[in-house]
Amino acid sequence: MTASDRTRVLVVGAGAIGSFYGAILHRAGAEVSVVCRSDYEVVREHGFRMTSPLGDLSFRPVAVYAGMEECTQPPDYLLLCVKVLDGVDRVGLIRPAVGPETAIVLVENGIGIEREVAEAFPGNTVISGLGMVGVSRVGPGRIRHNHYGRLVLGDYPSGAGERSRKLGALLDEGGAGGEVTATVVAARWRKCLWNTAFNPLSVLGGGADTGTMTGSESTETLLRALMAEVVEVAAADGHPMDAELIDQYLERTRTFPPYRNSMALDYLNGRPLELDAILGNVIRIAEENGVAVPRLDTVYRSIRMLQDMQASEDGGPEG
């Protein structure tokens, strides 16, 4: 294999998840570059140090960029791994690096997050990806991969085209597992079913962990009711889910040791929340389909108020 044959990957947003999949693709022989703002100096100097049950995943990217404007050579795959936040223009962010043949891979949380990207790049393949991975940043350029790793992926809005299959094969080779599906939006709804109920509610609970949430009959009733609303919205969006999934999720959550989900951690650490990606978009899709979601809407507006309140106090929950 010559250098020119190697798949060129650009990871945009090399946080824990982005650098993990970068490492996996590097391991599979791809030529991986990263855009990495906060840890730029360290990563440029030393690459990523990464421990994992898979072995030492440390690697040195082919190129480390501090900003998108430096990315002049369009990659085969652009992995977008930034958070989906209000006021973050993801389309504008990646535009400099997207070439006509670039497949845009969204490794991000939430539902309905592909649409604006697909509309902005109608000629490009957009791949939607769901990282099923436990990974955390333990220091600048230092990542700990804890468990799992699978990336569920497929063409947006549907299909399992050549670009998705090739990426899946690379992820398999790299040891993480690439699970290609022709119905990735349905998979996203299934992940959303848990996230949309648990994540925002944990914020209203002051950063409640899963043990607190599933340990009370009152809260379990609320979780079930929120998930039932999500099931209705998904069905109206063309992605019916088996309502038994609700029981399964609660059951499975109870079998894990209590932990705080990503939104609870973001909240407790004063970081911005992916509230629209995970909850607001569900409400938007419900409105588009004439589905009433009073409980989801109540949670959404309550968190918005909490954020207003904290903004007016000029500090986070710990500020």
Site residues, its own copies (CB under 8 A): 201, 204-208, 212-213, 215-216, 218-219, 221-222, 225-226, 294-295, 297-299, 301-302, 304-306, 308-310, 312, 317
Over 173-212, what HEC string results? HHCCCEEECCCHHHHHHHHHHHHHHHHHHHHHCCCCCHHH
> 251 or 313, CB closer to its own copies?
313
- Least distance from C-beta 134 to its own copies, angstroms? 23
Shortest separation between residue 244's beta carbon and its own copies, angstroms: 22
Token reading at 254? 């109870």
Question: Minimum CB separation from its own copies for residue 238, in Å?
Answer: 25
Q: Which is nearer to its own copies, 4 or 312 (CB)?
A: 312
Residue 184 or residue 226: which is nearer to its own copies going by CB?
Answer: 226
User: Other CB atoms closer than 10 Å to residue 295's CB: what's the count?
Assistant: 17
First-to-last alpha carbon distance for the chain, in angstroms, is 54
Q: How many CB atoms lie within 10 A of CB 82?
A: 19
Closer CB to its own copies, 48 or 267, in the complex: 267
Identity of the residue, 58 or 212, whose beta carbon is nearer to its own copies in the bound complex: 212
CB-CB contact of 90 with 80 (8 Å): yes
SS3 content of the chain, % helix, strand, coil (to 5): 45, 20, 35
The distance of closest approach from Cβ of residue 161 to its own copies in the complex, given in angstroms and rounded to an integer, is 40
CA 117 to chain centroid: 15
Q: Name the region of 65 (left: φ>0; alpha: ψ -120 to 50; beta: rest).
A: beta
* Closest distance to its own copies from the beta carbon of 206 (Å): 5
User: Closer CB to its own copies, residue 122 or residue 319?
Assistant: 319
In angstroms, what is the minimal distance from the CB of 229 to its own copies?
9
- The least CB distance from residue 198 to its own copies, in Å, is 11
| DSSP single-letter state for residue 241 | -
Structure tokens at 72: 């002049």
* Residue number, 58 or 216, with CB nearest to its own copies: 216
3-state secondary structure at position 302: helix
